[in-house]
Amino acid sequence: MAQVVDTSDFYNGLKFKWQDSVWEVLDFQHHKMGRGGATVKTKVKNLFTGSIVETSFRSGERFERIIFDEKPAQYLYQEGDGYVFMDLDSYDQISLSKAILGDAVLFLKDNLDVNLEMYEGKVMTIELPKSVELKVVRTDPGFKGDTVSGSGKPAILETGLTISVPMFINEGEVVVVDTRTSQYIERAKK
């Protein structure tokens, strides 16, 4: 039996069926307009094509919720435009494009364990761990006395991701990054 959701159930990451495709909510805002009905302005990603669309739905509009099957996998390497994963159950190798993976490629490093999210036997996207450890490859050196709380500096990580780190972080150090927000969490434990 299909699970039905309406616009009041929207949250970032919700997957639903619309226009004969599967979509993921990236962002949404409820808007109440005077005497008219409320609307929900959304930014959604088509999981078949990778395209991102901004659209509005009437408040209360209903959709079929999609729940993916998950398969454990491990990221192996990048080959051309493809990112190669190994299914940990069957040991098959699966190559996924950047269009499918989106910004997740900024967190991929060799041997990272992920979940392949499947719909009707096809990989739609991957689920990353909540945090990953990445090496800082470029950042300005910190200076003694730069300890103002809340201040930070940009750092480029080994995957190409740029984040803000505290002033005491130097090149070559490994930091823990939240994969949902792309924010620095802490210096990695040695």
Over residues 29-69, the pLDDT tens digits come to: 988 877 777 899 999 988 888 788 999 999 889 999 998 89
- The pTM for the full model equals 0.75
Q: Characterize the bridge pairing of strands 174-178 and 131-139.
A: antiparallel
Q: 3-65 maps to which CATH number? A: 2.30.30.30
Fold matches, 69-127 and 131-187: yes
Domain 131-187 indexed as CATH 2.40.50.140: yes
Q: How far apart are CA 23 and CA 13, in angstroms?
A: 9
Q: What residue ranges do the domains of the chain occupy? A: 3-65, 69-127, 131-187
Please name the helix (run of DSSP H) or strand (run of DSSP E) that holds residue 69, with its range, or none.
strand 69-79
Which residues are paired to 169 by β-bridges?
Answer: none
- Which token pair is 101? 């993976």
| Closest among 141, 137, 139, 166 to 151, alpha carbons compared | 166
Q: What does the pLDDT profile of the chain (190 residues) look like in tens digits?
A: 568 999 988 988 889 999 989 998 988 998 887 777 789 999 998 888 878 899 999 988 999 999 889 999 999 999 988 999 999 999 999 999 988 888 899 999 999 999 999 988 888 889 999 999 999 999 988 655 555 555 789 999 999 999 999 989 999 999 999 998 899 999 998 7
* CATH architecture classification, 69-127: Beta Barrel (2.40)
